[in-house]
Amino acid sequence: MPFWRAIRNRHYGLSTNRSVLNMLLFVPFGYLLPQMKQLKWYHVAGLGFITSLMIETCQLVFRFGVFELDDLVKNTMGAALGWLLYAGLEQIYKNNE
């Protein structure tokens, strides 16, 4: 996986920026999805994985971009982080009521 190679070789520049941006791309997905329907974190992460897999498969089939497995991992992590943000803010809101 390219991002592991970058970490191992201590090349944090472009690869790290892409990793962070890939995760941030799916944070809104993970934040907004449980607002429509109460979902556990693993449901949101699973839906993030499936959505990312569809995007990556389209890139492979239509030759628009590159199919990368590490993008699946990073996008899934971003969706889970979005759920974590949602759950944290919901808890703060409930405590303030």
pTM beyond cutoff 0.75: yes
What tokens does 81 get? 């982080």
Compute the Cα dihedral for 77, 83, 84, 85 and give only its sign. Answer: positive
Residue 5 confidence (pLDDT): 60
Is 43 within 8 Å of 37 (Cβ atoms)?
no
* Overall domain count for the chain: 1
Q: Tell me the C-alpha distance between 39 and 31, whole Å.
A: 11
The amino acid that residue 53 corresponds to is L
The amino acid that residue 24 corresponds to is L
Q: pLDDT tens digit string along 21-54?
A: 889 999 999 999 999 888 999 999 999 999 999 9
**Percentage of the chain lying above the pLDDT 70 cut:** 84
Domain that holds residue 92: 2-96
